[in-house]
Amino acid sequence: MFLTLDKTKKRSYTNQIYSAIRNLILSGELEAGDQLPSSRDLSRDLSVSRNTVLTAYDMLVSEGAVESIAGSGFFVRSGAKNVPQKISIKNQQTASLSDLVITDEIINFDSGHPALDLFPREKWNKFVSSAFLDAPTSALGYDDPQGRPELRDILSSYLKKSRGISCSPDQIIITAGTKQGLSLVAKCLLNSQSEVWIENPSNLNVKAIFSYHTDRIVPFDVDEQGIQPDQFPSDGKPTLIFTTPSHQFPMGGILPIQRRIALVEFARKSGAYILEDDYDSTFSYDGPPPNSLFELDHERVVYAGTFSKILFPSIRLGYLVVPMHLVPKLRELKRLADHHSNSIYQLALMRFIESGELDRHIKRMKKIYRKRRDMLLELMNTCFGEKVHIHGAAAGMHVVAEFEGDVFSEDRIKRLLSAGIYVVPVERHAIKKGNHENQIILGYAGFERDTLLHGLQIIKDELKR
């Protein structure tokens, strides 16, 4: 057994010896029944005291990895080998929306990645610092589960201006991002007998959230405009209808007003709630973003918004706009989940909006993202010509590329990852399988021209195989 000690580390020699031997046992390099060196021999080899070695051995014995046999020595016990499980891209827990950690060396074409290098950190830092210094005492303790009233007040005005949502600040609940918002709604409205109607394809994380509460999830195929209410059975009684009308995920359709009205009318008739996920419609390039479904019905629509795409994902701030009668239960569920979202960040965000910096940042990023979208479309045409068809380019930070005659199997996705790019096939988000095997998501917001071209060339080379 070969061990070395790092004398520059602050960790004691005892802990270093214990950790080194423990790792050898867990990895299987030391097998069940193997005898450890005598404490005298190991102390001599490592130039440490014998008591140091004996203490490390005793720690291994107390953990059950090693047994001491009187008169014979220390031996590795059976059952201590640990075979680490390799992460599979097929695993839904590692798919899409940043659930799989991708290193900086990989070109990550997944959706939902803003140009983080362009975020105005210094300005944001000033707002955070001033918010902390000026914060009322209440913001440093256990705060209002529904969110700081200052933020909810200014957010109600902002939503009226930007999304056509007329609501009271009392109807807003600040969340730790969209996923928590959807989880709170699911806990509030669903039980094992509830039926949820959902777009197909649709973000698989959303389906996973609903699946914790019911297995009665019914998919409805989208077309180039989004969900199709005329496909709904007239006698259907869903508890919840999930939709992304402003930029369907992942296909990118924008729901026309006629379908919006039909969707709301169906919800009124059936008694269903509509959960509207507005994840990235802020970045609309061919006109202003469409108004929210909440505009059409304040009693049946729950609106979920986020600042992850506008600002940066790790801010973990989103919000729900909900019918007033749902506020008490959702507020209590938020309190039980994590009591409240970061109060200082809430106050900083309030000032960021109030100062006009949010509007200026969005205006700047829309210009940049539009330019990068146009670059991607130009390069797609250069690399693939008529072989590729693009979906959903009118808004957001990604498109869907459909390649005629090709299939993006999991093996192909793994080969692309080995070649230096990460792409997510649309099929992975499909509830009903088999109709999207030749489509991939291409996020473009974070990339300059050279990076886009390099990534597309890797795809082109793979498709030649």
Each residue's pLDDT tens digit, 162-172? 888 999 999 99
Residue that wins the pLDDT comparison between 85 and 432: 432
Task: Give the pLDDT confidence of 115-158 residue by residue, as tens digits.
Answer: 999 999 999 999 999 999 999 999 999 999 999 999 999 999 99
> Phi, psi at residue 328, to the nearest 5°?
-60, -45
pLDDT at 10: 67
Instruction: Give percent of the chain with pLDDT exceeding 70.
Output: 95
pLDDT of residue 84: 58
Average pLDDT over residues 385-396: 93
pLDDT given for residue 281 in this prediction: 82
pLDDT digits (tens, 9 = 90+) for 242-260: 999 999 999 999 999 999 9
- pLDDT value, residue 228: 97
Check: CB of residue 441 under 8 Å from CB of residue 400.
yes
Q: Which domains does the chain have, with CATH numbers?
A: 13-76 (1.10.10.10), 92-118+361-463 (3.90.1150.10), 121-359 (3.40.640.10)
pLDDT at 317: 95
- Of 73-87, 261-275, 392-406, the range with the lowest mean pLDDT is 73-87
Query: If you average pLDDT over residues 190-216, what whole number do you get?
Result: 95
What pLDDT score does 290 carry?
Answer: 79
User: pTM for this structure?
Assistant: 0.78
**pLDDT tens digits for 212-239?**
999 999 999 999 999 999 999 999 999 9
Q: Identify which has the larger pLDDT, 259 or 89.
A: 259
Express each pLDDT in 263-276 by its tens digit: 999 999 999 999 99
- The pLDDT of 368-388, averaged and rounded, is 95
